[in-house]
Amino acid sequence: ISVILGANGSGKTLLTKVILGLVNLEKGRVEVHSKKKIKLGYSPQKITFLRRNVFDNIAFPMILDGSQRSMIKKSVNSLLKKFGIFEIKQLSARNLSGGLGQFVSFVRSIVREPEVLILDEPSSNLDINLKNRMEDYLISQRCKKKIIMVTHDLFQAQRLADEIILIENGIILMKLSKKEFIK
pLDDT tens string 157-172: 999 999 999 999 988 8
| Backbone φ and ψ of 162, nearest 5° | -95, -35
- What pLDDT does 165 receive? 94
CB neighbour burial string for 63-74, b if at least 16 within 10 angstroms, e if fewer: eeeebeeeebee
Q: What is the C-alpha to C-alpha distance for residues 32 and 30, in angstroms, rounded to an integer?
A: 7
The CA–CA distances, whole Å, from 129 to 15, 57, 132 equal 29, 22, 5
Judged against a pLDDT cut of 80, whether residue 62 lies above it is answered with yes
Per-residue pLDDT tens over the stretch 70-108: 999 999 999 999 999 999 999 999 999 999 999 999 999
- pLDDT category at 178 given cuts 50, 70, 90 is confident
Angle (nearest 5°) at CA 135 between 132 and 128: 25
* Stated pTM of the model: 0.90
The CA–CA distances, whole Å, from 26 to 23, 29, 173 equal 10, 9, 19
Angle (nearest 5°) at CA 126 between 123 and 130: 100
- What pLDDT does 94 receive? 95
* Alpha-carbon 161 to chain mean position: 14
Instruction: State the chain's mean pLDDT as an integer.
Output: 92
